[in-house]
Amino acid sequence: MPADITVVERIAERGARAGAIGDVVFRALTFLFALFVLLILGGVIVALIDGAWPAFRTFGLSFVVTEVWNPVTEKFGALAPIYGTLVT
């Protein structure tokens, strides 16, 4: 009987090692995909800043904090659309 226990222990030990390898692979893949998500988020932020830069250069920071939108006088503010988007 002790020989049977040794075989069972060896099988359990092999299974534990295989599970440990799977855990390491899973942890590494999860970490890599988390970094990938952060990289994509950084790219989105850069694209938004790049797209908004001409408006900030032309109208200044007041573009974000004023709500006047008058094309005749070329005064533009994005506060109302920003507020509406955030409330929605």
Nearest to 58 by CA among 43, 39, 85, 77: 77
Distance CA 88, CA 72 (A): 29
Q: What is the pLDDT of residue 27?
A: 93
Query: Which of 11 and 28 is assigned the larger pLDDT?
Result: 28
pLDDT value of residue 12? 63
- When pLDDT is cut at 50, 70 and 90, the band that residue 8 belongs to is low
Q: Which residue has the higher pLDDT, 68 or 51?
A: 51
Q: In 46-81, which positions are buried (b, 16+ CB within 10 angstroms) versus exposed (e)? A: eeeeeeeeeeeeebeeebeebeeeeeeeeebbbeee
CB 76 within 8 A of CB 69: yes
Write the pLDDT tens digit of every residue in 18-65: 667 888 899 999 999 999 999 999 999 999 999 989 888 888 888 888
Structure tokens at 59: 């109208």
pTM of the model: 0.57
User: Which two three-digit tokens encode residue 83?
Assistant: 């507020």
- The per-residue pLDDT for 69 is 84
